[in-house]
Amino acid sequence: MPDFKTSLKAVLSTYLADGAPPVGVAAELASTSIRSLQRHLKESGLTYSELLAEIRFDSARQLLAETDLSVLDVSLELGYKDPSNFARAFRRLAGVSPREYRKISTTNAVAIAA
């Protein structure tokens, strides 16, 4: 059975294109109070903002590696209104730009297939 964090990530990831849901909406989706949601996240060592960043980053990595969507389209798909904010957030977590990540992941996929 998935843990609270994993379940919440799965639910929230479907809402990203419309922007990150406020913590109150996330609590409703998890059938809990805001305080209980925050407590569960604290047990995982995260804040709600950090959880959203993790969800967006995981989704971005997958979209960049497995689709031909442009970086702009990936940023919009993840609810970023400004693509430069997406690029900055991605670089902070990955250490490379979204374009560099795509190039690296494509190169690695070709090397593995060979």
pLDDT score recorded for residue 35? 97
What domains does the chain contain, in order, with CATH numbers?
4-113 (1.10.10.60)
pLDDT value for 16: 87
Per-residue model confidence (pLDDT) at position 114: 41
SS3 45: coil
* 16-49 residue pLDDT tens: 888 889 999 999 999 999 999 999 999 999 999 9
pLDDT along the chain (114 residues), means of 10: 85 88 94 95 94 95 95 94 95 96 79 46
pLDDT at residue 109, rounded to an integer: 56
Q: Number of helices (H) and strands (E) in the chain: give both, helices first.
A: 7, 0
40: left (phi over 0), alpha (psi -120 to 50) or beta: alpha
